[in-house]
Amino acid sequence: MMNIALIAHDQKKEKLVEFTIAYEEILRKHTLFATGTTGKRIMNATTLQIHRFQSGPLGGDQQIGAKIANNEMDMVVFFRDPLTAQPHEPDVSALMRLCDVYHVPLATNMGTAEILLKGLQAGFVDWRKHH
């Protein structure tokens, strides 16, 4: 059972909801975390249970970053909006930076996310144990 974070900016929330519906049965086997609004949207559209943090602009990205720094996150799916300036852009960058510091697989778009979920299903996502 892996710890997986699900995050999307407003323009990408619909895409992430579609993704969680498509992969609901795989995701159900894991412990899921999300920023506030993203988590609410996914829980409304699926039967998945999600630990929700603050909304991104209020510190949710940083709370997920803290889980990464504590070696408590196995995968991050973060559908960023590359076309809209975010008031908390430093938090967004910090979260992605910590993924790179701790070798946490990070998908920032649907194409990569599908590959990661298939890798997860095949048992390839075990980076955290090897630290």
Please identify every residue annotated as catalytic: 61
Tell me how far, at minimum, the Cβ of 37 lies from ligand 13P, in Å.
Answer: 3
d(CA 108, CA 130): 24
**Rounded distance between C-alpha atoms, residue 97 and residue 99, angstroms:** 5
Give the number of other Cβ atoms within 10 Å of residue 74's Cβ: 22
Q: CB of residue 117 vs ligand 13P: minimum separation in angstroms?
A: 19
**Binding window for ligand 13P (CB under 6 A); candidates: 54-62, 96-104, 105-113, 118-126:** 54-62
105 contributes a contact to ligand 13P by CB under 6 A: no
Which residue has the CB atom at the shortest distance from ligand 13P? 56
Q: How would you class 58 by CB atoms within 10 Å of its CB: exposed for 0-12, middle for 13-18, buried for 19 or more?
A: middle
57 interacts with ligand 13P by CB under 6 A:
yes
**Residue 85 carries which DSSP code?**
-
φ, ψ (nearest 5 deg) of residue 114: -65, -40
List the x/- string, 74-93, binding to ligand 13P by CB under 6 A: ------------------x-
Sheet containing strand 75-79, strands side by side: 50-52, 31-34, 3-8, 75-79, 106-107
Rounded to a whole number of angstroms, the minimum distance from the CB of residue 72 to ligand 13P is: 19
Smaller CB distance to ligand 13P: residue 83 or 122? 83
Question: Contact residues for ligand 13P (CB under 6 A)?
Answer: 7, 9, 35-38, 55-57, 60-61, 92
